Structure 1
Amino acid sequence: MSLNSVIHANCQTLTALADQLTHLPPGIYDKATPLTDSGIGGHVRHIVEHYQELASGLEEQHICYDKRVRNQLLEHSLKDAIETLRNLSAWLLTLAGQENISLKLTAATSGSRQDASTTTESSLIRELLFLQSHTVHHEAIIAMLMKAQSIDVPGEFGVAPATLQYREEIAITS
């Protein structure tokens, strides 16, 4: 596995999300549904902020997704969200060739207000793998929210790459 392949996979995932969002009817993006407390916009904001935390954490070589900045504009402005997703894809491409970046990751290990957290070693590739998985997970929720509102969603949207590979293997052997 190379950094470039992981970057490319993240770009594809973010582009698929941006493309899917362009098909939303007006008024749907930030509309809360009975299924969740937030709408599609809340999940997109959450995804974007994780990538932004990686970007800011790279400078110090220390990431803490738990302390990311919550930007409500991304939750309510479809236009800004799509633009930000496309900008993140372009930024990811600038990371090519930076395989040797060592990172520290701090994560909360408890829901209490006490500083219950752990810091561990990580790498750029590992964090990008996490972000892709995290994004696909939220895309699956977004897909359910869209389907609940009778919006067409491609069958591969929000499906993990390993699941898509498995489905392909099964189709070949059937």
Structure 2
Amino acid sequence: MLKQIVEPTIINLKQAEEIFADLSPAIYSSTSAAPYYSSIGGHLRHILDIFKCIVSGLDSRIIDLTNRKRGTIVEKNPVEGQKYLRRIISDLENISDLDPSIAITIKDDLGMGMVEIPTTLGGGLNQAHSHAIHHFACIGYILHIHGAILPNKIFGYNPTTPKNQSV
């Protein structure tokens, strides 16, 4: 069942709730951190958009990862970010009983035009989960630059990271 992928993904995504609870809108939306000048809100919106693309493409079995909405209110307003997070978690809970071997096609622009990659729903969600962890690490750097504290000691670490390196 897809539940084996969805449950740890939801646990990981719920770490973002702690960011919403303690972070000012100014830090959440700040693009002052070099060298990429991206915001915490921008990273969270990006993470959630990837999951939204997967859920939205399930009926057609075509997941278009270029169909993301940049520059939305989610990037500026942590309350809107929290609402979006909760919608994505609900969407993931609703698909947790699906078969992970469902064939899908992921469409993306890898830098030289659109490509179509055949894979499975489980494979696509697994990649989205790893991608989210990577962006949580980026958020960790931005939090540090602003003098904010990470939500917990595992935030932004892949579960396969040796424990003596993560704490």
TM-score by length of 2: 0.89
Which stretches in structure 2 are left out of the alignment for 5+ residues? Answer: none
Aligned to 2:102: 101
CA contact (8 A) 2:157 2:166 kept: no
Amino acid at match of 2:14: T
1:23-172 equivalent positions in 2, closer than 5 A: 23-35=22-34, 36-70=36-70, 72-99=72-99, 100-111=101-112, 116-153=113-150, 154-163=152-161, 166-167=162-163
Gaps of 5+ in 1: none
Distance 1:32 1:110, change over 3 A: closer
Provide the C-alpha distance between the structure 2 equivalents of 1:75 and 1:126, rounded to a whole number of angstroms.
27
How far apart are residue 170 of structure 1 and its match? 10
Q: Which residue pairs with 2:19 in the alignment?
A: 20
Shift of 1:118: 2.1
Which of the two has greater helix per residue?
1
Q: SS state of the match for residue 28, structure 2?
A: coil
Q: C-alpha separation between the residues in 2 aligned to 1:71 and 1:25?
A: 19
Deviation at 1:67, TM superposition (A): 2.8
RMSD value, Cα: 2.1
Deviating above 3 A after TM superposition, structure 1's stretches of 4 or more consecutive aligned residues are 168-171
Alpha-carbon distance change, 141 to 90 in structure 1, aligned in 2, over 3 angstroms: same
Number of paired residues? 164
Deviations 1:106-148 (A, max 9, x none): 222334xxxx332121111111101111111110000110011
The 3-state SS of whatever aligns with 1:119 is: strand
CA distance in 1, matches of 2:70, 2:166: 41
